[in-house]
């Protein structure tokens, strides 16, 4: 779906909105509600269905593949209609949300019986209770347990030099997380990508600002404009204090005006979408953008951190390093990977946690893992409960989660815990034990999904409920006894007492046996006729009616007791939200640390040394994704390589490694692996290397892989140059820059000149640690003038005219790219390969400055080569030679000679 504010009715004419007076009362109500939610599909509740009308029906039937019908006429036109059953609504919502629609869910707010009391024509009261949008869903089935579900609000104020102009606020309603951060127009895109929201809301002025349009277009997310008043920083304080029920924001920390504006917009969006319900949100936490590694949009995409360029999770860095076992852990890992840190102290604290599990005694990690595996998603259950959308399973999730938190705390009870785990232990210790005990006492072991089904309160918890349940169970026996007594009394052995929703309990006999219940006046007085069917007659008795009303009352009363108990428990849970959240986050931290320790152990990763130096010294580094992929394919093992970009002597200037080597030699892999090692180290993970010493990187830039951006009118070369410009303009002396084949998208001389000047700029101006891969071997001459530039090359072996890739990085420069050999491996027609080789030989003999016209003179025409010089296709010659062999006639010596001859034919040099 396109970015920009998406109306759900993008290309559709608005539904005809006739004067309500002309409509039936129900249609008038529908049109009123629809008018207030014109940007969403309206799910209009009618009994057990959500119905959609007019254009909504047409859109939904197309999007969901459901039948479009008609329901009456309106202004002389048929009313289009389609519907989805309430019990299956989640599935349909999921499909619509995935397609970028917003859905307004309109519920019946009273019992139809109530409405009838106001007159036969009166309409059931209805209103929208919730707006479902991509970034505000809470249903378990609609959410991926391992992915955060943020919506983001952008705040902007006029600003002065001292206060930033823009800020971001992002909320995950499904977990209650609420964060704030400063931003700036030039880093807006990369900051938003770091957060990875599903949806964005902005004030109308931001929405219509042409300078920001490219950002929204690139993101391709739904962007909803809201009135500017909702982003007003002056009234933001009021909105926040009202939401949190506090008098002042003093306890929240200090926020600048842009942050307040963003927070206000975010809360306004919560209110808009959740209508009357309020999720329990944590207090807004400030997220220091300066404390995270800046990764620009192109780098983020090219390094395939969370998804590959084709959008799949398989093949991404995240997938390769994720060993978490809980939803919360998986979400935290993804967030950490998205936002590596720049503060080396915090990085080392995280690394300490990983080390702790690596060196912990044998039993601890195994026991802890078993414990964590069973841990339910407490945060998401808590959120549903706070929005009144929870069920008994959510209460059970909190109960089970708290029990696991307790077990985890006991397992972690050690003398020497590293700081992060010590904090986690403290949070687990303050988990609300009373709530756990209450839930444990009240809830049955197995509970139903819906609270209206009842049966979730444990037997023995509530005396009256137990009595009512006994009555219900007893009634079954009473009915069975009644049935046999009636059968005996009437002599109809097949008489049954049955139940349906229309008649309730009734006695049923076949039509042939009906006389026994109707023949005498006495029988007629006793068995009251209810219904005659073709083959059966149905009756009731005062006794049976009495029993039925007692059973119905007992069931109603039992359910209302269960509802009260549910409400009480829900309130207890919501009261304890803060400490529950602390415990859930602690479990996520432990899960991430344990997962990274398992990864380090199984994959042989090492703990990086991270400090504030300018070093970048990796020995035996590997690419985390390629290494695992090669192993899966049972291919040759990954070849580890060193990389040292550390400054030399007392210099502060990082080194530039100029990497040459053949196509397919492993240059891109080497470049990317070092960028990924920096990301892993700074998120607090062990790294795929023998050893690594990294001075924190503040900005990571990579230009690897080429793509065009035709939608924005940029060719492949243009994109390459825009990205290179961004790097040269922004990289500082703490940055890490990875550049792959700059200048390849244009003519050789233009490309070489651009690459040449780029290297000089990186060396003289940016002075950052740099890996620069190129096929322009002329650049290696720069090592003579640029002191921090070193030539390295991917080693290859030539063997009988073919090239063997060793994937080893060594000092020195390549003198050729072996492009023709690689082309041959790729299956180019043999005649083309031969011709290319001839052209290349000629070029190399004459020097590169040879004019093309001269080449044409010197090289025989292709057709000539094909006709006269091209050898017989090798396979034919070989086949012929083998055909001619008569093994039985050969002496051993002749056989040996024949073998040599075959080899020569194979090499193309027949004797
Ligand atoms: N260190 C390594 N050990 C084992 N295999 C490797 C290694 N590095 C790369 N490879 C394999 O070689 C293939 C080619 O690597 P890569 O794309 O990095 O080469 P390249 O030099 O960048 O090629 P080109 O110049 O054509 O873009 C990879 O797909 C991978 O399977």
pLDDT at position 670 over 50: yes
Beta pairing partners, 301: none
If one counts every other C-beta atom within 10 angstroms of the C-beta of residue 227, the result is 12
3-state secondary structure 810-854: EECCCCCCCHHHHHHHCCCCHHHHHHHHHHHHHHHHHCCCCCHHH
pLDDT recorded at residue 588: 97
pLDDT recorded at residue 162: 56
Answer yes or no: is 498 within a domain.
yes
pLDDT at position 399 over 90: yes
Can you tell me the ipTM of this complex?
A: 0.97
What is the rounded average pLDDT of the residues 85-114?
Answer: 88
Q: How far apart are CA 89 and CA 301, in angstroms?
A: 35
Answer yes or no: is 322 within a domain.
no
Which ligand 1 atom is at minimum distance from the Cα of 671? 18
Query: Is residue 586 located within the same domain as residue 694?
Result: no
Query: Is residue 647 located within the same domain as residue 747?
Result: yes
Rg (CA), the chain: 37
What does the pLDDT look like over 574-620, one tens digit per residue? 999 999 999 999 999 999 999 999 999 999 999 999 999 999 999 99
Residues constituting the chain: 911
Q: Give me ligand 1 centre to Cα 827, in Å.
A: 18
CA quadruple 367, 373, 379, 384: dihedral, nearest 10: -140
**Residues 231, 204 contacting (CB under 8 angstroms):** no
Q: Is 626 in the pocket of ligand 1 (CB under 6 A)?
A: yes
Strands 736-740 and 769-773: parallel
Which ligand 1 atom is at minimum distance from the Cα of 640? 1
Share of the chain above pLDDT 70, in %: 91
- For 513, residues 6+ apart whose C-beta sits below 8 A from its C-beta are 490, 492, 494, 495
What is the rounded average pLDDT of the residues 460-478?
Answer: 87
What does the pLDDT look like over 440-449, one tens digit per residue? 999 999 998 8
Q: Is 807 in the pocket of ligand 1 (CB under 6 A)?
A: yes
Distances (CA, A) of 102 to 99, 198, 647: 9, 13, 54
Q: How far apart are CA 860 and CA 843, in angstroms?
A: 14
> For ligand 1, atom 23, which residue shows the shortest CA distance?
664
Q: How far apart are CA 145 and CA 380, in angstroms?
A: 9
What is the rounded average pLDDT of the residues 790-805?
Answer: 82
Strands 536-540 and 528-532: antiparallel
By the 10 Å C-beta count (0-12 exposed, 13-18 middle, 19+ buried), 34 is classed as buried
Measured distance between the N- and C-terminal CA atoms of the chain, rounded to whole angstroms: 66
> For ligand 1, atom 9, which residue shows the shortest CA distance?
666
pLDDT recorded at residue 286: 87
Query: Is residue 155 located within the same domain as residue 277?
Result: yes
Q: Give me ligand 1 centre to Cα 390, in Å.
A: 51
Distances (CA, A) of 209 to 13, 187, 192, 448, 681: 26, 16, 17, 50, 38
pLDDT recorded at residue 585: 96
pLDDT recorded at residue 18: 43
pLDDT at position 20 over 60: no
Q: How far apart are CA 819 and CA 796, in angstroms?
A: 13
pLDDT recorded at residue 21: 43
Domain end (from 110, 132, 154): 132
Answer yes or no: is 318 within a domain.
no
pLDDT at position 288 over 70: yes
Q: Give me ligand 1 centre to Cα 660, in Å.
A: 13
pLDDT recorded at residue 251: 81
Query: Is residue 669 located within the same domain as residue 773?
Result: yes
Q: Is 393 in the pocket of ligand 1 (CB under 6 A)?
A: no
pLDDT recorded at residue 185: 86
pLDDT recorded at residue 367: 92
Q: How far apart are CA 880 and CA 870, in angstroms?
A: 17
> For ligand 1, atom 28, which residue shows the shortest CA distance?
666
pLDDT recorded at residue 13: 34
Q: Is 669 in the pocket of ligand 1 (CB under 6 A)?
A: yes
pLDDT recorded at residue 699: 94
pLDDT recorded at residue 459: 92
Q: How confident is the model at residue 16 (pLDDT cuts 50, 70, 90)?
A: very low
Q: Give me ligand 1 centre to Cα 818, in Å.
A: 14
Domain count along the chain: 6
Answer yes or no: is 325 within a domain.
no
Q: Which of 638, 669, 676 to mutate to test the pocket of ligand 1 (most atoms within 8 A of CB)?
A: 669
Q: Give me ligand 1 centre to Cα 733, in Å.
A: 29
Query: Is residue 597 located within the same domain as residue 608?
Result: no
Q: Give me ligand 1 centre to Cα 686, in Å.
A: 23
- For 19, residues 6+ apart whose C-beta sits below 8 A from its C-beta are none
Q: Give me ligand 1 centre to Cα 667, in Å.
A: 6
> For ligand 1, atom 10, which residue shows the shortest CA distance?
666
Strands 699-703 and 736-740: parallel
> For ligand 1, atom 25, which residue shows the shortest CA distance?
663
Q: How far apart are CA 127 and CA 30, in angstroms?
A: 9
Q: Which of 303, 309, 626, 672 to mutate to test the pocket of ligand 1 (most atoms within 8 A of CB)?
A: 626
What is the rounded average pLDDT of the residues 275-295?
Answer: 87
The encoded tokens of residue 368 equal: 């802890």
Buried b (16+ CB within 10 A) or exposed e, 394-410: bbbbbbbbbbbbbbbbe
Query: Is residue 611 located within the same domain as residue 582?
Result: no
Q: Give me ligand 1 centre to Cα 291, in Å.
A: 34
Domain end (from 821, 849, 875): 821
Task: Kindly report which listed range (70-84, 225-239, 415-429, 450-464) carries the lowest average pLDDT score.
Answer: 70-84
What does the pLDDT look like over 529-553, one tens digit per residue? 999 998 899 999 998 998 888 888 8
Q: Which of 666, 668, 672, 674 to mutate to test the pocket of ligand 1 (most atoms within 8 A of CB)?
A: 666
Q: Give me ligand 1 centre to Cα 794, in Å.
A: 10
Answer yes or no: is 312 within a domain.
no
Q: Which domain holds residue 78?
A: 20-132
Angle, helix 392-411 to helix 433-442, in steps of 10 degrees:
130
Q: Give me ligand 1 centre to Cα 808, in Å.
A: 10
Angle, CA 559 vertex, CA 502 and CA 46 arms, to 5°: 50
What is the rounded average pLDDT of the residues 792-806?
Answer: 81
Q: How confident is the model at residue 713 (pLDDT cuts 50, 70, 90)?
A: low
Averaged pLDDT score across all residues of the chain: 86
Query: Is residue 771 located within the same domain as residue 850?
Result: no
Which ligand 1 atom is at minimum distance from the Cα of 669? 18
pTM of the model: 0.81
Answer yes or no: is 433 within a domain.
no
Q: Is 305 in the pocket of ligand 1 (CB under 6 A)?
A: no
Q: Is 639 in the pocket of ligand 1 (CB under 6 A)?
A: yes
pLDDT recorded at residue 326: 95
Strands 199-203 and 151-156: parallel
Q: Give me ligand 1 centre to Cα 673, in Å.
A: 11
pLDDT recorded at residue 753: 85
Q: Is 817 in the pocket of ligand 1 (CB under 6 A)?
A: no
pLDDT recorded at residue 862: 44
> For ligand 1, atom 8, which residue shows the shortest CA distance?
666
Answer yes or no: is 8 within a domain.
no
**Residue bearing the bigger pLDDT, 814 or 407:** 407
H helical segments located in 65-168: 89-98, 112-117
3-class DSSP state for residue 484? helix
Query: Is residue 104 located within the same domain as residue 162?
Result: no
> For ligand 1, atom 30, which residue shows the shortest CA distance?
666
Indicate which CATH number applies to the domain containing 32: 3.40.1170.10
Which ligand 1 atom is at minimum distance from the Cα of 629? 31
What is the rounded average pLDDT of the residues 19-47?
Answer: 84
Indicate which CATH number applies to the domain containing 254: 3.30.420.110
Q: Give me ligand 1 centre to Cα 806, in Å.
A: 10
Q: How confident is the model at residue 853 (pLDDT cuts 50, 70, 90)?
A: low
Q: Is 663 in the pocket of ligand 1 (CB under 6 A)?
A: yes
Q: Is 665 in the pocket of ligand 1 (CB under 6 A)?
A: yes
**Residues 597, 330 contacting (CB under 8 angstroms):** no
What is the rounded average pLDDT of the residues 191-217?
Answer: 90
Q: Give me ligand 1 centre to Cα 793, in Å.
A: 13
Q: Give me ligand 1 centre to Cα 804, in Å.
A: 12
Query: Is residue 635 located within the same domain as residue 754?
Result: yes
Query: Is residue 879 located within the same domain as residue 789?
Result: no
What does the pLDDT look like over 717-745, one tens digit per residue? 777 788 888 889 889 999 999 998 877 76
Q: Which of 665, 671, 738, 739 to mutate to test the pocket of ligand 1 (most atoms within 8 A of CB)?
A: 665
Q: Is 667 in the pocket of ligand 1 (CB under 6 A)?
A: yes
Domain end (from 89, 104, 132): 132
pLDDT at position 383 over 70: yes
pLDDT recorded at residue 878: 77
Q: How far apart are CA 604 and CA 138, in angstroms?
A: 39
Beta pairing partners, 167: 155, 182
Q: Is 666 in the pocket of ligand 1 (CB under 6 A)?
A: yes
pLDDT at position 864 over 70: no
The per-type count for the chain, helices as H runs and strands as E runs, is: 33, 27
Q: How far apart are CA 34 and CA 28, in angstroms?
A: 10
**Residue bearing the bigger pLDDT, 187 or 688:** 688
pLDDT at position 8 over 60: no
> For ligand 1, atom 18, which residue shows the shortest CA distance?
666
Answer yes or no: is 113 within a domain.
yes
Indicate which CATH number applies to the domain containing 392: 1.10.1420.10
Binding residues for ATP: 661-668
**Residues 165, 154 contacting (CB under 8 angstroms):** no
Query: Is residue 224 located within the same domain as residue 363?
Result: no
pLDDT recorded at residue 908: 64
Query: Is residue 611 located within the same domain as residue 739?
Result: yes
């Amino acid at each position: 779906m396109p970015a920009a504010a998406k109306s759900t009715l993008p290309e559709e004419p608005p539904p005809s909105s006739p004067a309500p007076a002309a409509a039936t009362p129900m249609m008038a109500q529908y049109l009123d509600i629809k008018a207030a939610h014109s940007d969403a599909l309206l799910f209009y509740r009618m009994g057990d269905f959500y119905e959609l009308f007019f254009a909504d029906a047409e859109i939904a039937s197309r999007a969901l593949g459901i039948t479009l019908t008609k329901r009456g006429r309106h202004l002389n036109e048929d009313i289009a209609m389609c519907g989805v059953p309430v019990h299956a609504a989640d599935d349909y919502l999921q499909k619509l949300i995935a397609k970028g629609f917003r859905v307004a869910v309109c519920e019946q707010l009273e019992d139809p019986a109530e409405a009838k009391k106001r007159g036969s024509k009166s309409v059931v009261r209805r209103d929208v209770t919730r707006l479902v949008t991509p970034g505000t869903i809470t249903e378990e089935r609609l959410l991926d347990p391992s992915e955060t579900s943020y919506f983001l609000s952008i705040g902007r104020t006029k600003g002065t030099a001292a206060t930033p102009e823009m800020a971001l606020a992002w909320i995950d309603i499904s977990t209650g997380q609420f964060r704030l951060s400063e931003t700036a127009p030039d880093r807006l895109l990369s900051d938003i990508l770091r957060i990875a929201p599903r949806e964005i809301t902005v004030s109308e002025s931001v929405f219509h600002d042409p300078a920001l349009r490219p950002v929204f277009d690139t993101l391709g997310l739904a962007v909803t404009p809201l009135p500017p008043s909702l982003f007003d920083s002056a009234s933001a304080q009021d909105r926040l204090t009202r939401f949190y029920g506090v008098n002042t924001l003093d306890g929240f920390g200090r926020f600048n005006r842009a942050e307040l504006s963003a927070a206000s917009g975010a809360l306004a969006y919560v209110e808009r979408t959740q209508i009357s319900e309020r999720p329990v949100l944590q207090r807004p936490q400030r997220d220091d953008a300066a404390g995270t590694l800046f990764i620009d949009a192109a780098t983020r995409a090219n390094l395939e951190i969370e998804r590959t360029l084709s959008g799949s999770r398989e093949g991404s860095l995240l997938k390769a390093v994720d060993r978490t076992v809980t939803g919360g852990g998986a979400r935290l890992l993804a967030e950490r990977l998205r936002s590596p840190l720049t503060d080396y102290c915090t990085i080392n604290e995280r690394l300490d946690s990983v080390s702790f599990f690596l060196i912990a005694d044998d039993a601890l990690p195994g026991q802890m893992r078993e414990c964590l595996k069973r841990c339910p998603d407490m945060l998401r259950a808590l959120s549903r409960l706070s929005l009144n959308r929870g069920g008994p399973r959510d209460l059970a999730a909190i109960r089970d989660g708290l029990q696991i938190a307790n077990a985890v705390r006991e397992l972690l009870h050690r003398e020497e815990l590293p700081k992060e785990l010590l904090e986690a232990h403290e949070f687990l210790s303050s988990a609300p034990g009373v709530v756990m005990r209450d839930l444990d006492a009240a809830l049955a072991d197995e509970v139903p999904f819906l609270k209206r089904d009842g049966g979730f309160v444990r037997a023995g918890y509530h005396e009256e409920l137990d009595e009512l349940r006994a009555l219900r169970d007893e009634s079954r026996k009473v009915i069975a006894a009644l049935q046999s007594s009636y059968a005996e009394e009437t002599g109809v052995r097949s008489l049954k007492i049955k139940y349906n929703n229309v008649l309730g309990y009734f006695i049923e006999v076949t039509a042939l046996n009906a006389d026994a219940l109707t023949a005498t006046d006495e029988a007629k007085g006793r068995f009251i006729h209810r219904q005659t069917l073709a083959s059966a007659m149905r009756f009731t008795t005062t006794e049976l009616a009495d029993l039925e009303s007692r059973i119905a009352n007992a069931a109603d009363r039992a359910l209302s007791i269960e509802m009260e108990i549910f409400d009480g428990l829900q309130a207890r849970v919501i009261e304890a939200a803060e400490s529950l959240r602390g415990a859930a986050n602690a479990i996520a931290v432990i899960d991430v640390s344990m997962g990274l320790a398992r990864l380090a152990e199984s994959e042989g990763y090492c703990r990086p040394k991270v400090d504030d130096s300018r070093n970048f010294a990796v020995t035996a580094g590997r690419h985390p994704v390629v290494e695992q992929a090669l192993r899966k394919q049972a291919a040759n093992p990954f070849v580890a390589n060193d990389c040292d970009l550390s400054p030399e002597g007392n210099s502060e200037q990082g080194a530039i490694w100029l990497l040459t080597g053949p196509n397919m030699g492993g240059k891109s892999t080497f470049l990317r692996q070092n960028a990924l090692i920096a990301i892993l180290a700074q998120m607090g993970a062990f790294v795929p290397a023998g050893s690594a010493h990294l001075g924190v990187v503040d900005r990571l830039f990579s230009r690897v892989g080429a793509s065009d951006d035709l939608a924005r009118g940029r060719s492949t070369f243009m994109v390459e140059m825009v990205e290179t410009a961004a790097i040269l303009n922004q990289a500082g002396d703490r940055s890490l820059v990875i550049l792959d084949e700059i200048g390849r998208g244009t003519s050789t001389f233009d490309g070489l000149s651009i690459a040449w000047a780029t290297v000089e700029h990186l060396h003289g101006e940016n002075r950052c640690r740099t890996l620069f891969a190129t096929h322009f071997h002329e650049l290696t001459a720069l090592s003579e003038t640029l002191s921090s530039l070193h030539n390295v090359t991917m080693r290859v072996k030539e063997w009988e005219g073919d090239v063997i890739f060793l994937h080893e990085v060594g000092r020195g420069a390549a003198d050729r790219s072996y492009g023709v050999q690689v082309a041959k491996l790729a299956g180019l027609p043999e005649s083309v390969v031969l011709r290319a080789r001839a052209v290349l030989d000629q070029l190399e003999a004459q020097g590169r400055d040879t004019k093309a016209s001269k080449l044409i003179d010197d090289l025989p025409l292709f057709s000539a080569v094909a006709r006269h010089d091209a050898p017989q296709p090798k396979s034919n010659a070989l086949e012929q030679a083998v055909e001619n062999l008569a093994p039985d006639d050969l002496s051993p010596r002749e056989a040996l000679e024949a073998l040599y001859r075959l080899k020569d034919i194979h090499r193309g040099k027949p004797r």
